[in-house]
Amino acid sequence: MALHKLVVMGVAGCGKSTLATELSRALACPLIEGDDHHLPASRAKMREGVALADADREPWLDALGALLAQAQGSTVLTCSALKRRYRERLRACVPGLRFVYPEIGIEAARERVASRVGHFFPPSVVASQFETLEPPHDEAGVLVVDAGLAPDAQRDAVLAWLAAQP
């Protein structure tokens, strides 16, 4: 089986964790949940409904990039990676890194986030994620999937894409 280092990226509510879990099971590889690695100050900001700034995200991205680079074998990471430069920062740690972007509209994302129980990210911050988002439509090594598809359909599309990669 080919080695895959993969980031499932996108705004809150797009289904990153669900899809990443499906992929890690299908690929029989570890999953790194990016939200688990936010600094306590960043988690507190988000809990208060304050959007993170680039300075808040930089140490987080560096930590995630290091974890992904150190991981042996295939690995799936969830990370919002909203801006191209954030994705480039991760790519600098892991050459050949691939991204999957479950694309969703703002209202659907807000509804999904509002329905979460016990998550630190409030629906009020969803709009700021869309303001920050630079969709990766023109980037190499990126697959865009419809976040409205069932998780197994998304997973199968990603697996087919990975199988077709050189």
Q: What is the mean pLDDT of residues 112-128?
A: 76
- pTM for the predicted model, two decimal places: 0.92
pLDDT at 124: 74
Q: What is the mean pLDDT of residues 18-26?
A: 97
Domains by residue range for the chain, with CATH: 5-164 (3.40.50.300)
Tell how far CA 14 is from the center of its chain.
Answer: 9
Q: Is the pLDDT of residue 119 over 70?
A: no
Cβ–Cβ contacts within 10 Å for residue 140, how many? 8
| Residue 164, Cβ density class (10 Å: 0-12 exposed, 13-18 middle, ≥19 buried) | exposed
Which tens digit of pLDDT belongs to each residue from 23-51?
999 999 999 999 899 888 888 887 777 77
pLDDT at 76: 98
